Structure 1
Amino acid sequence: MINSQLPVELVALTDEQRDLLDLCREFGAREIRPVAREVDEADTETPWDVWRKAAEAGITDFMLPTAYGGGGATDVFTQCLVQEELGAADAALGNLLTSNGFFADPVLELGTEDQKERWLRPLTGPNPPMTALAVTEPGVGSDSAAITTRAERTTGGYRLTGQKAWISNGGVAEYYVIFATVDAAKRAKGVTAFLVTKDRLSFGQPMKKMGQRAIINTEIFLDDVFVPEEDRLGAEGQGFQGLMRTFEISRTVLAASATGLARACLDLATSYARERVQFGKPIIEHQAVAFRLADMATKIEASRLLTWRAARRLDAGLPCATESAMAKLTASETAMFCSWAAVQTLGGWGYSREYLAEKWMRDAKLEEIEEGTSDIQRMIIARSLR
């Protein structure tokens, strides 16, 4: 059973938010959880059936502005509420179904009205394409200012040359935001964003991943790819600014996803501990198990509150690099702890594929790596203390 309890005494939810949460909770129970194992074992196949059902329900575009046909839940707080509920069903599928929001963030931050209309409106409705952000390179991970993909000016636009790695939805997405540099010596001040369609790109084979297999990851190869000037996002050198804003939002939303994953682990472990009898009583009555569950519940609550704090700051237009890093760090490590704790509580059954605990443990590891590893989040937090 998917836990539906949120500490609403802290933040009163609107009727619209409650309806959206009910929709996501029901969709998660009906369409996500039952196929989570099947999608994981399919490995490098995109679950288009779930994607289309989510689009018809309004889940893939709920975060897009109504001006472009979206659901209008543009505030990060609501996005976090939704992401936690979807993550409680299955984080891998939940992250896939809302991935168009990550593409939309830099477009909304840097794009012209014409670009927003051309690139965001197609993402709404019952049959939207998938989208992707392309930042990471084989030799460039979290240091986005060190991007080496080149953007060279030419008549009418730019030529992009370089290679991207670990791109989520690579090869299955139709639209891409590609981050390149107009001058590598300028580092952050040279980073520029470009909107590119799939037909101009080449892709590597889907990567064989440890977890979150619902999302395909590939390399992208750019060999003198022409991009018209009208498809540059913002001015030259503005891409890094848009990317940092996107990271603050995405790290916060991913913290909500990790919190949902941790919730799923607690629900499973608690349910099992109530039913499993050892030494004449349910194992939930054994101190070691009870204390482990208590630690899980406490860490989940702390993760949620840090996530909500970061979301509220973002919605208020306040600086949020430190707060989003705190939320991402705490929630991702909580997801990893809770998935371990669920496997530990279930014992041999947790180690088997009979239950989803082992899958969630593999999924949780990505939460500590993507959008900047836990070490990077600690660096961001430590920098704020100097």
Structure 2
Amino acid sequence: MPYRELNLELTEEHELLKEEVHKFAVEVLRPASIELDKMPPEDVIKKGSLWWDCMSRLYQNNYHLVLISDEYGGLGIDPLGVHIIWEELAYGSVGFAVSMGCSCFSSFYATMLCEDHLIDRFVVPFVNCKDASVMSCWGITEPAHGSDNLMAGTPFFHDPGASQQVKATKKGSNWVINGQKSAWISNGPVASDAALFVSIDPSMGFAGGGICLIDLNQAGVSRGKPLNKMGQRELPQGEIFFDEAICPEEFMIVDPDSYEAMTELTLGHANATMGAYFTGVA
């Protein structure tokens, strides 16, 4: 369809959705983000803080289920509805919007694979959560690696001279995880689990990676201080350290054979979502 023939009219359902999310974003998220921006990052994420109150209200409104199919108890809305929710949340607070987008990483991947053990472990608790205690993050960037982690489809991605710092080593029926993710991990200081991008075969460069869904509340995981930023303090970000952390083999969902394709798919989805967020900001 030629661009000039696109139907730019919203359905009545989409209009109602837009009004509902806009009202919540303006009345709840925007005032909260202004107050949180005045606070030290450690205070933002203290239990019982204004940030946790807003996150709980977002979960109670089911905004954490934007990308989850109704088959699994999610909102099951169409792509335009997804864009409307992200755009309107970001109009009130792009930090809270990004936090919502990252919160579903593990469960979203699990719904893509449709395997019962992943649904039971990562989707059901997330769908049923109403207090934001079940929350994911995208464990991708590292102190020495930013966008280069995401350059799928380029010769650089296959250069054996560079690979991810976080390594996964198979030991029996588990993967043992060691290394560090950077201070820019959104939800890093507060997430209960992560969609963690790791290096499995460094000889393949970044292409030798994998993706595992890992519990962040285990003994082998520690966090750095939440990042002290100028702005967007309503989006907690911080380092995550792995020291002999354990990931069961059934939760390593992507191996080097499919890692490049999944990285490209993830980046494409993330970029589209960022477009929706910052349309709201604009």
Same fold (TM over 0.5): yes
Contact 2:211–2:252 under 8 Å retained in 1: yes
Is structure 2 residue 121 aligned with structure 1 residue 106?
no
TM-score normalised per structure 1: 0.61
Q: 1:43 to 1:243 in 2, by over 3 A?
A: farther
CA contact (8 A) 1:54 1:60 kept: yes
Q: Structure 1: any 5+ residue segments left out of the alignment? A: 1-8, 263-386
Alignment partner of 2:146 out of 141, 145, 156: 141
Name the CA distance, whole Å, in 1 between partners of 2:113 and 2:263. Answer: 10
Alignment of 1:67 onto 2:71: yes
Greater Rg, structure 1 or structure 2? 1
| Helix, strand or coil at the partner of 2:238 | strand
Kept after mapping to 1: 8 A contact 2:106/2:122: no
Matched AA of 1:81: I
Question: Which structure is higher in helix share?
Answer: 1
The 8 Å contact of residues 207 and 218 in structure 1, kept in 2 or not, is answered as yes
2:67 partner SS: coil
Aligned residue pairs, count:
255
Specify whether residues 12 and 149 from structure 1 end up closer, same or farther in structure 2 by C-alpha distance, changes over 3 A only.
Answer: same
Aligned to 1:51: 55
**CA-based RMSD:** 2.3
Secondary structure, aligned partner of 1:167:
coil
The answer for the alignment partner of 1:20 in structure 2 is: 17
Counterparts of 1:113-128 in structure 2, within 5 Å, are 113-125=116-128, 126-128=130-132
The alpha-carbon deviation at position 158 of structure 1 amounts to 1.1
Partner amino acid for 2:259?
A: G
Q: CA deviation at 1:17?
A: 2.7
Gaps of 5+ in 2: 1-5, 46-50, 150-156, 158-162
Q: What residue identity is the alignment partner of 1:187?
A: G
Aligned to 2:29: 32
Displacement of 1:236 in angstroms is: 4.4
* Residue 157 (str. 1) matches residue 162 (str. 2): no
Does 1:132 pair with 2:150?
Answer: no
**Percent identical residues:** 26
1:130: how far off? 1.8
Deviation of 1:77 after TM superposition, in Å, equals: 3.3
Decide whether the 8 Å contact of 2:68 with 2:74 is kept in 1. Answer: yes
Q: Distance in 2 between matches of 1:63 and 1:206?
A: 27
Residues 1-386 of structure 1: pairs in structure 2 closer than 5 A:
10-44=7-41, 45-46=44-45, 47-73=51-77, 75-110=78-113, 112-125=115-128, 126-128=130-132, 129-144=134-149, 145=157, 146-165=163-182, 166-200=184-218, 201-262=221-282
1:226–1:141 CA distance, 2 compared to 1 (3 A): same
Distance in 2 (alpha carbons) for counterparts of 1:242 and 1:133: 13
2:57 corresponds to which letter in structure 1? K
Deviation at 1:68, TM superposition (A): 1.8
Residue 21 of structure 1: how far off its partner (Å)? 1.6
Cα distance, 1:76 vs structure 2: 3.8
Matched-pair contact (CA < 8 Å) for 1:163–1:220: yes
Contact 2:188/2:238, CA 8 A, preserved across alignment? yes
RCO comparison, higher one (Cα < 8 Å, 6+): 2
Deviation at 1:105, TM superposition (A): 4.0
- Residue 162 of structure 1 contacts residue 223 of structure 1 at CA under 8 Å; is this kept in 2? yes
